Amino acid sequence: MSTAEIVRLKNSVTERDHASGAATAPVTLLEYGNFECIDCGRAYPVIRQVRKVLGDNLRFVFRHFPMQQTHPHSLRAATAADAAAAQGKFWEMHDELFTHQQHLEDQDLFLYAKRIHLDAEKFTLDMTENTLASKIEADYNRSLFDEHITGTPTFYINGLRWTGAVEVAPLLAAIKAADTEGRLPIPQSPSGIRAVFSRIRRRGKG
């Protein structure tokens, strides 16, 4: 990417964000995602593997970008995730929604809430009231107008938009390149990264 094409994140990560991993991690990977988006669904296992490899050395941030015109269930799914977050279980609901991406009707969302042991009464109240949905829609508009997000998934690595292939090896390489302090336990060379990727694939088949 040339200097002219560099796109920087305008809205920095704050405590309002859904984040996993240490705030002091050398690299932050941020995704603008949509639980009903097929491409986000394809990216999900890739991100999951990368997070597993790097652990707390990577901070992963997920921001909702529900595109309701093309994904009619996306706002309700995002609301369910935030309702789960209110009970400290955002990532459990995040995983349920991406794992069962083709089943995002309300009855499905309530089933996932039960599966991850949410308080049913509070979850129902949060899904019924408009507070969470209004916040998500406001965040959507800010992302649209401030960050010029137009589709999902959209990724940033340490505040710079990343447009590479959403595959484990190139993503690990991009994350390693962003680690200017050399703190991440992954190789510098492409061949070393490919070796790590091969170990991941073998582990996944085992």
**What tens digit of pLDDT does each residue of 117-147 get?**
999 999 999 999 999 999 999 999 999 999 9
Residue 177's nearest CA partner among 158, 191, 153 is: 158
Cα 70 to Cα 92: distance, rounded to the nearest angstrom: 25
pLDDT at residue 1 in the model: 41
Q: Is the pLDDT of residue 162 over 60?
A: yes
**The pLDDT value given to residue 196:** 61
Q: What is the mean pLDDT of residues 94-116?
A: 98
Q: Residue 98 maps to which CATH number?
A: 3.40.30.10
User: Could you tell me where the beta strands, DSSP code E, fall in the chain?
Assistant: 18-20, 27-33, 58-64, 154-157, 160-162
Provide CB contacts within 8 A for 17, sequence distance 6+. 61, 62, 63
Average pLDDT over every residue of 166-177: 93
**Contact residues for 19 (Cβ-Cβ < 8 A; gap 6+):** 13, 59, 60, 61
To the nearest whole percent, how much of the chain has pLDDT over 70? 88
Over residues 21-67, the pLDDT tens digits come to: 999 999 999 999 999 999 999 999 999 999 998 998 999 999 999 99
What residues make up the domain containing 191? 3-205
Q: How far apart are CA 128 and CA 180, in angstroms?
A: 46
Instruction: Report the number of distinct structural domains present in the chain.
Output: 1
Q: What is the CA radius of gyration of the chain?
A: 17
Q: At what angle do helices 120-128 and 74-85 cross, to 10 degrees?
A: 140
Please check the confidence at residue 204 and state whether its pLDDT lies above 60: no
Banded pLDDT at 185 (limits 50, 70, 90) = confident
